[in-house]
Structure formats: structure tokens, C-alpha cells
A and B are shown apart, each in its own frame.
Chain A
Amino acid sequence: MEALASLAHGFSIALTPTNLLFVLIGVTLGQLIGALPGIGPSAGMALLLPITFGLDPVTAVVMLSGIMYGGMYGGTLTSVLVNVPGEAASVMTAVDGNQLAKQGRAGQALAVAAIGSFLAGIGSVIALVFLTPPLSAFALNFSAPEYFLLALLGITATASLGSGSAVKAMIGATLGLMIALVGTDPIQGTSRLTFGSLNLLEGIDFLPVAIGVFGIAEILVSMEQTQSGHVIRTRLRDMWLTGKDWAACRMAILRGGLVGLLIGLMPGAGPTVAALLAYVVEKKASPHPEKFGHGALDGVAAAESANNSAVHGSMIPMLALGIPGSASTAVLLAALVLLGIRPGPMLLTEQADLVWGLIASMFIGNVILLVMNLPLAPLFASILRIPYSYLVAGILIVSLVGAYAISLSLFNVGLTLFFGMVGYLMIRADIPRAPLVLAVVLAPLMESSLRQSLMLSEGSPAIFIERPLSAVLALCVVVSLTLPLFNVFLARRAARRAGVAEALSHSSD
């Protein structure tokens, strides 16, 4: 009941005219950013973070989170109508959504994606209302060793739960830790890795890294070739779902929403993994798995429900523990720090207006997005016809002005470009960028809590397994590190068995 009373208070904050306006601005920007191929919600949030500097913290955070979940809705448009995922989490939607569009059912695909995203999103925000306070209260028992292990888990889990090579994901995280080491030692005050540069004494700001690695890098990739995509047209009257469509999709939405929420709660997995997993689960549960890949409406429903649910679910560890589980929540966490707010378990008590205002704004934002994606979907689809090159120029200039605005220094503009090139090379070398950004955000907490722990234990690493809570977290870190090795072992065994079976079949021939 206390949570409901706090939520009611949150609505009184979120419904003020200014906050309502910025929820609308945030979700509209998120919808547009999600729809633009080559720029995802994390990049959009990083690019637009500087424009929140003059705003009240609640207003700034409701706008930035609006971009985060609005991006999940917007990505559907490009996936279905152009067959290019607007952002990574919409990749499974592109598979079936575009097939449906080619069959003349683009409207139904967009409608089921919007309704699925809305229902799963609202369900996930309800879970956020009831799970955040007890988790936050539980986290008050945490001390330095638990914080170190939790931050470490955030990084190692990103590597083990991601879809690519675990070694490469860990390389991304290590690069992030190296970036975070530059500057002045937070405990002893000595300068580290500054190589005599005064500009590096205060360390490397998070924003040039995030804007470069996400924003500039993605634009460089999209500029490799002239963008040209055929946009399939859709009309409002095509968006009605029949009773049969709804019956086929309602369980997919439920399953996708639950998968998304669980994946969102895990550090490191994020909406892309959630959408992939929900699609696989739905294919197994579906009475017509042969339709998947050729235009399955329930496949679209499951993937879209899961990605939106995961985005909202990932807010739970971020708000309760101060540990971001995904690249987008890492940007949001960095925004809180830049706005002078200390994230962590005390956030809910120290900044109750901000947390509950944010949660209430998510209910409102999802309603606005449902309206944008049902009756207004054809209007937003028409934006996809603007040639991408006209937008690129604006995005690049705003990125660089934003980088300058952080500290009024051209050095940061240069750093942004440098990290843009680093991000581009990482994409081409198939090294994931989210672990790098997560590591940059988590490194100060990791280093200070590690050193505090060893100070308390006079150098004994046993402090990390002495308390039951820290022992469980240490075990989770070990499991997250060994999971990729276990997967490699299973894959090799399966390949060996397949080889034996093939040899046997050849010998019987």
C-alpha cells in the first residue's frame, strides 16, 4: 500500500505541466531516434543529455527515460516498413514484420507491436513499483565488498549474457576500465596516466565517451554507403486487428513481457537479448512454428513486448542498487551523477520525488506512445522518407556542440571525435561497445569499494566471501565468468557429436 501511495505522489509530480511536456518531448524524440537507422536510444540519450543541464532533475530524467523506452516503440517502424532495424532490439521484428508488410499486413504488424509494447511496458512498470522498494531496502545491508562484487557482476554478466564472443565483450569492458583510470586517483590524489596533460587531470568525462562510442561511431557506420531504402506505405484503416489476430498474439505478448522483465532484471543482458530469447521461446510455444521467419504476427508481438518490458525492467536494479544493467541505463545513471544526484540504495529515500515521479511518468509515456504508434503511426512512418543524409549533418553538429557544452572545452570535442573513431573500429572488429560504457560508469564505484574493502580487511581478499551476501555475489561473478566457457564446451561437444553422426551416416552409405 505504501508503494501505491508513493506512486500517487509520483503522479502528482509527473502530471505538472512542465514534466508532462518533457515526457511528451522525450517519448517523441525516442520514437524518432528509434525509427532512425544508425542511431539507437543509448546514443540518442547521450547526444541529448547536454540539453538537460538547465532543467530540474526530475524533468531531465523523465525526458531521458522517455527517449529510452520511446526508442523501443520507434524501432518497430523501420523494421517493419524498411526491413532495417531502427535499433538492435528490433532485429527480430524486422525478420517477420517486413515479411508481413510485403504481404500487405504492415498495419497489423505495427498495431500488434504497439499494443504488445504497451501492455508489456505497463506490466513491467507495475513490477517496478512493487519490486524497487524492497530491493532498495535490502540493498541498505550492502557494504564495500558487496558494492565491489555487484559492480563487477554488472560487467562480467554483460560479457557472459551478450550474444557475441565473451572474450571480446570482456575486452570492451577492460578498455572502459582503462579509460576510467585516467585522471586523479580518487583516494590518494596522485595523477595517473595523464602523460603530463592538464586536460586529463580531471579524468575523461563520461559524455565524450558515450557520444563518441555510440553516436559518432554509429553515424560513421551508416555513412559507409549511400542510404537508400524502400519505405512500404501503411494506412490507418489497415491497423485494425481481427479477433483471430488478437487470439493468436495475446499469449505471445504475455510470454514476451515476462521474458523481457526477467532479462531486464539481469545485469548486462538488455532488450536485444530479451527480444531474441522471447522470439525463440515463442517459436517453440507457437502452434505454427513454420511461419516464423515468413511473417508470424505472434513472433512480432513476442519480440516487441519483450524489448519494451526489458527496458523498463532494467530500471529496477538501476533505481534500487545504482547498478545499470544496460547501456541505456548506464547513460541514465551518468545523467543522475551529472545532475548532482548520488545513485544507490539511498536514492529512493533521499530522492523520492525523482524516483516516483519517474516511475509515474513511465505510465504516462507509454500511453502517449500507444497513441503515437496506433493512430499516428502513418504520420511517423512518413518521416522515414526524409533522406538520411540530411539528418546526419544535424546529428553530428548537435553531438559536437553537446560535447563542448559539458565543460566549454574544445578538448572534449576532440575526445568525442577520437572515441567516435574508437567506437567505429570496435564495431568493425566485432567488439561490443555496451561493456565499455558500463565499465566507464561503474569503474569509480568498483575501485573505491575494492580499495575500501581491502583497507578494512588489511589486505585479505577473504572479505569478499566472509559475509553470506558477499559470498553469493562472488559465486554469481564466478558463474558469469565460467558460463561462456561452459557454452564453448557444450558447442564443441555438439559439433563433435554431429561430426560422429555424419561420419556414421557416410559409413552406412
Chain B
Amino acid sequence: MRVTNLIAALTLLALSVMVLSGTWALPYWADFAPGSAFAPFWVAMVGMTLAIALFVTTLLDTSSEPNSFPDRHGIVRILALTAGLWLMVLLIPLLGFMSAGILFCLFLLLGIERRPLLPSLFTTAMIAGLVYGVFIAWLGIALPAGPLGL
């Protein structure tokens, strides 16, 4: 957990610096009232203070609590799932939301979870039916369609 805490502290520090530099050109005080940079300035200050507090308390902490990240197998599963989700989002403009969603379901069930073919196909059909029934037929939301019209 020690390394995780140090990384978290550095990330917060970087984000605080980003907030501060991103609003540096905006007015802190405008005539008679706080300006657009007023709140970002104080949020960045609080962020920096907390980052330093986490950094110092982690360095002073002598306990050796292990980090809670998964093992290699778990990391591979998470990376595969995340990659599948991002790929689905990238494929939506080309294939349509439903088609990309169906491909993602099959990838998840057959590729990552290694489930049997027939239950996976049945589950995918159920999900597609649910999305079509609720979002397209009931709520009338126009999901992006691809060459297959889905």
C-alpha cells in the first residue's frame, strides 16, 4: 500500500498543479466579487495540502500493509475487459451500438469468461432484446446504427 499511496499523492499533486495552471489566466477577483479562478485556486490548494499530507504520513508510517492489486491472472482479465470495452466504443461509429455491443458480449462470455457457446449466445440475444425493448422501442432513443441497421 506504501507505493500505491505515494503514487496517489503524486497524482493528486499533479492534478492540483494542472487545475492551478489551467485557470492561471482567469481572474481571481473581479471588481466586487470572486472571479472564475477563485474556486479552482482554493480547490488546488486543498489538493496540494492533502497530497503532501498523504505523502508525509505514508513516509512516516512503519506498518507494511500489502497493496490490494490483483495477481497476474486478475490483471490480465481486467486489461482484457477494459480493452474490450474501449474497442467496443471505437467500433460503435463503424458497426452501430447494437452490433458492437453484441460483439463485446460474445468476447466477454466466450473469450474472457470461457462460458459454453449456447448459453453465451442465449445471454447475448437476451441482452440485445432488453436493450432494444427498453431503450429503442420504449424510450425511443436513437442508438447509432451501422451497415446492418443495428
Q: How far is the CA of A54 from the CA of B130 in the complex (A)?
A: 17
**Which one of B18, B81, B85, B142 has the highest number of Cβ atoms from chain A below 10 Å of its Cβ?**
B85
B89 within 8 A of A: yes
> Which single residue of chain A is at the shortest CB-CB distance from B127?
A394
Contact with A along B53-86 (1 / 0, CB 8 A): 1100100000000011110011001100110011
**Beyond A394-B127, A400-B88, 10 additional pairs, beta carbon < 8 A:** A177-B46, A195-B22, A224-B77, A389-B109, A393-B127, A410-B93, A421-B82, A430-B1, A430-B68, A454-B33
Majority SS at the chain B contact face: helix
Number of A-B pairs whose CB atoms are under 8 Å?
172
Question: Across the interface, do A174 and B43 meet the contact criterion of CB distance under 8 Å?
Answer: yes
Of A50, A225, A387, A389, the contact of B70 (CB 8 Å cutoff) = A225
Show 11 residue pairs from A and B whose CB-CB distance is below 8 angstroms, ordered by the A residue.
A50-B139, A54-B139, A224-B77, A393-B104, A393-B105, A393-B124, A397-B131, A400-B101, A401-B143, A405-B135, A430-B4
Q: What's the minimum C-beta distance from B93 to chain A, rounded to whole angstroms?
A: 7
Question: Across the interface, do A168 and B144 meet the contact criterion of CB distance under 8 Å?
Answer: no
Which residues of the other chain, A, contact B124 by a CB distance below 8 angstroms?
Answer: 393
Question: Across the interface, do A451 and B126 meet the contact criterion of CB distance under 8 Å?
Answer: no
Of B1, B40, B77, B142, the contact of A181 (CB 8 Å cutoff) = B40
In A155-211, which residues have CB < 8 Å from any B CB? Answer: 167-168, 170-171, 174-175, 177-178, 181, 185, 187-188, 190, 192-193, 195
Question: Across the interface, do A178 and B34 meet the contact criterion of CB distance under 8 Å?
Answer: no
Which residues of the other chain, A, contact B15 by a CB distance below 8 angstroms?
Answer: 175, 178
Q: Which residues in B have some Cβ–Cβ distance to A below 8 Å?
A: 1, 4-5, 7-8, 12, 15-16, 18-19, 22-23, 26, 29-30, 32-36, 38-40, 43, 46-47, 50-51, 53-54, 57, 67-70, 73-74, 77-78, 81-82, 85-86, 88-89, 92-93, 97, 101, 104-105, 108-109, 112-113, 115, 119, 123-124, 126-127, 130-131, 134-135, 138-144
> Which single residue of chain A is at the shortest CB-CB distance from B84?
A396
- Knowing A54-B138, A223-B81, A393-B108, say if A450 contacts B39 (CB, 8 Å): yes
Question: Across the interface, do A451 and B38 meet the contact criterion of CB distance under 8 Å?
Answer: yes
